[in-house]
Amino acid sequence: MSTRLDNSTRPVVDTRAFRDVLGHFCSGVTVVTAMVDDDAVGFTCQSFSALSLNPPQVLLCPSKRSTSWPTIRTADTFCINVLAAGQCDLSDRFAKSGGPKFDGVQWRPAKRGAPILNGVAAWFEVALDAEHDGGDHLIAVAGMLAFGADSATQPLVFHRSRYGGIVDPSMG
């Protein structure tokens, strides 16, 4: 017999407080990009994770309110760009809906065309394998096609709504 609480017995969760506490879990920041009909599209996405080694898959969680994901998901491939320390301007730029997000942004195409942003710590060119419902978000599972990293680059970190970087633990 399941011991899970059904919806009627669950407490009402204060969304703002929940969000604040979630913010204590720090993560990197990615920009998810694609080329669709000769237009580059993209959005900032923190909810990225390794998923499976065999088959090689990652996941990301686009909001159902994202205006670029419905376009990106139609592309043959898309690219998950892991931002480097100092790229908070790129994160902010791609966190806005609409507008010419790619104006002045330097990038090169991955083998199958998805934009790799200049200076990123790592990138993964992927194809959409599955989409699952995730409340007000979607859970997108993507299969790996190609990837690369610049090991000399430090990552951008996001924690409690602020950008930061990796601190050397030996520094206390």
Catalog residues that contact ligand FMN under the rule CB under 6 A.
Answer: 29, 43-47, 61-63, 66-69, 91, 95-97, 158
- Nearest residue (CB) to ligand FMN, 10 versus 65: 65
Q: How far is the CB of 5 from ligand FMN (least distance, A)?
A: 27
To which H or E segment does residue 88 belong?
helix 88-94
Q: How far is the CB of 4 from ligand FMN (least distance, A)?
A: 26
- Nearest residue (CB) to ligand FMN, 15 versus 151: 15
Question: Residue 155 CA to chain centroid, in angstroms?
Answer: 13
Kindly state the greatest CA–CA separation across the chain.
Answer: 58
Residue 78: which of 139, 146, 3 has the closest Cα?
Answer: 146
Q: How far is the CB of 84 from ligand FMN (least distance, A)?
A: 14
- Nearest residue (CB) to ligand FMN, 96 versus 111: 96
Question: Residue 125 CA to chain centroid, in angstroms?
Answer: 13
- Nearest residue (CB) to ligand FMN, 41 versus 144: 41
**CA–CA distance, 45 with 48 (Å, rounded to integer):** 7
